[in-house]
Structure formats: C-alpha cells, structure tokens
C-alpha cells in the first residue's frame, strides 16, 4: 500500500488548513477522525483507551481542538505524515486529561495510564440482547428513499444539501424524511421500553 497522507501530499489543502479555512479544517477532521478516535479509544503505551463513549468522544473533540489551534497548525512541517503529528498531539491531550481529572487518578502514585471498566458479564449480556433487538429497526426501514437517507445521512454523515442534490430531492423533502426517521427511531425505542 502506498504511503499516502492527504495533508502532507496536498500543498493547496495544507496552505488552506494553515490559514484556518473552514473547508480545509472540515476535510482534515473527516480524513483524520479515525486517528484521534484510535488514540482516545485504543490508547497508547500503558493507556488502553477510554472505554466510556462520553470520555472517548470528549477526548476526540479535545484532540482536534488542540490540533486546530493556530500554533499547532503552523507547527506542522508538511514533510512528515500528518497522521503521526496528530497522534502526537492526541497523546499529549489525553495525558493532560488523565492528569487533570481525579476520576482517572490511581492510588499507587503511578501515572494513570490505565482506565478500564470493571468486568460486568451480566450487563454485557443484557446490552448484547438489547442491541440485537434494536438492530431490527434498520430492517424495518424498507422504503427506498428512507433507507437511502438513513444510510447516507445517519450512518455516513452526508450533508443535507449533498444528499438532496445526489438524490434529486428538494432539501425540504430530505429534512422531512430525516425528521420522520428520527420520530420512528424514538417511537421504536419507546415501544421496546428503552426510552
């Protein structure tokens, strides 16, 4: 596999990114999201990652917020892969989170780099059963337009404008379907006693 790195290899994007242009930041966020997510979710060194989605996603946001600071954007040299650069920022951000938050403090005086949930097999089984039930919602959406919008908007995160353009629908129509799907999801959860 070729050693490619978007921000390193695309000088125009890099210049726009360094200038803080919104479109460039958006592209960098989308392309490198998984890098920040892996640092927060899988960890590094002795840190095995945040198990809780709230902490994990808080860390992802903090990593990108730090990476989008003017000083951090300026300091990327454009020669090394941005993946490695972002990973470095991510590790520093996570270390600071672990140091700052008393929830992550260990009592043995060692740096807190391991924060894992207690084993709870029973709860895991209940969760697995619940998720099996909930996954049936996806199968209940069979109308082609609704199914496509469910996939493209909710799963893949495509923007409304692009969706409307790509599907030959008005934006109003797309919004109506999104709202309809949202109502159906909430109703489904309620019917199964999950909301």
| Contacting residues toward another protein, per CB under 8 A | 20-22, 25-26, 29-30, 33, 37, 41, 52-55, 57-58, 60-61, 64-65, 68, 101, 127, 130-131, 134-135, 137-138, 150, 153-159, 175, 178-179, 182, 185, 188-189, 194
Tell me phi and psi for residue 44, to 5 degrees. Answer: -165, 155
Query: Which residue's CB is nearer to another protein, number 83 or number 174?
Result: 174
The structure tokens listed for 101 are: 């938050």
Q: Nearer to another protein by C-beta: 75 or 130?
A: 130
Q: Smallest distance, Å, CB 41 to another protein? A: 6
CB of 143 to another protein, least distance (A): 16
> Residue 3, by phi and psi: left (phi above 0), alpha (psi -120 to 50) or beta?
beta
Minimum CB distance to another protein smaller for 106 or for 192: 192
Whole-number Å distance between alpha carbons of 184 and 186 = 5
From the CB of 137, what's the least distance to another protein, in Å?
4
* C-alpha pair distances (Å), 74 with each of 71, 126, 130: 5, 48, 47
- Could you tell me which of 104, 73, 101, 67 has the C-alpha nearest to residue 87? 67
Residues 7, 83 contacting (CB under 8 angstroms): no
Least distance to another protein from the beta carbon of 25, Å? 5
Q: Which is nearer to another protein, 22 or 108 (CB)?
A: 22
């Amino acid at each position: 596999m070729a050693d490619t790195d978007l921000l390193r290899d695309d000088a125009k994007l890099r210049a726009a990114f360094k200038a803080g242009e919104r479109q460039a930041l958006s592209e960098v966020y989308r392309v490198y999201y998984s890098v920040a997510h892996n640092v927060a979710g899988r960890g590094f060194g002795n840190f095995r990652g945040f198990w809780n989605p709230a902490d994990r996603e808080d860390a992802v946001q903090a990593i990108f917020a730090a990476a989008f600071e003017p000083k951090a954007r300026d300091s990327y040299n454009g020669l090394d892969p941005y993946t490695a650069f972002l990973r470095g920022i991510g590790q520093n951000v996570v270390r600071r989170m672990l140091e700052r938050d008393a929830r992550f403090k260990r009592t043995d005086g060692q740096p807190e780099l391991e924060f894992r949930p207690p084993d709870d097999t029973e709860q895991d089984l209940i969760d697995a059963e619940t998720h099996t039930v909930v996954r049936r919602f996806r199968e209940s959406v069979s109308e082609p337009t609704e199914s496509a919008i469910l996939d493209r908007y909710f799963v893949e995160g495509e923007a409304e404008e692009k969706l409307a353009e790509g599907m030959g629908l008005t934006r109003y129509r797309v919004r109506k379907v999104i709202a309809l799907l949202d109502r159906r999801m909430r109703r489904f959860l309620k019917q199964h006693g999950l909301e």
